[in-house]
Amino acid sequence: MKIGISACLTGDKVRYDGTDKRNSELLKILKEHELIKICPEMTAGFPVPRESLEIRNGRVYSSSDEDITKKLNEGAHKCLKMIQDCDFVVLKEKSPSCGVHLIYDGTFSGKPIEGHGLFTRLCLENGIPVYSENDIEEIKRKTAGT
Ligand code: SF4
């Protein structure tokens, strides 16, 4: 299978604070498959490190309150082209770009709420199945073809 994956989940240090979120369990499950790494925020041209971003009222803001929705949307659309023939994607939960079930509430106080990141929403609108790193059982079933 061809699977899109948030680059930070593979160990790339592309998060806003220069860290990664390597997930060994996930990578073990996916090791026989072709992985296409994407990072919508890096593709949008944001540096590492960068300000943290959160979604508020459907727009994306930096921690200094700059509306960066347009710039991030451009990165998301470029990433969509990279993964549009993938069987599914696995994205990093709670990110304003990649969050699958949860995002932060836009107040920069660390409070998660239900919602999709901007890139996740774009994938779903284009019919691409999306899982988070926490959907391990579903990913196992999907890769086993059951
Ligand atoms: S935008 Fe996505 S891939 Fe990039 S660091 Fe954030 S969660 Fe990871």
Average pLDDT over residues 56-72: 97
Per-residue pLDDT, 145: 78
Task: Confirm or reject: Cβ of 95 under 6 Å from ligand 1.
Answer: yes
Cα–Cα nearest to 74, from 97, 40, 47: 40
Is residue 75 scored above 90 in pLDDT? yes
Per-residue pLDDT, 146: 66
Is residue 140 scored above 80 in pLDDT? yes
Cα distance between residue 71 and residue 98, in whole Å: 15
Task: Confirm or reject: Cβ of 99 under 6 Å from ligand 1.
Answer: no
Mean pLDDT of the chain: 97
Is residue 26 scored above 80 in pLDDT? yes
Partnered with residue 3 across adjacent β-strands are 35, 88
Gap from CA of 92 to ligand 1 centroid (Å): 7
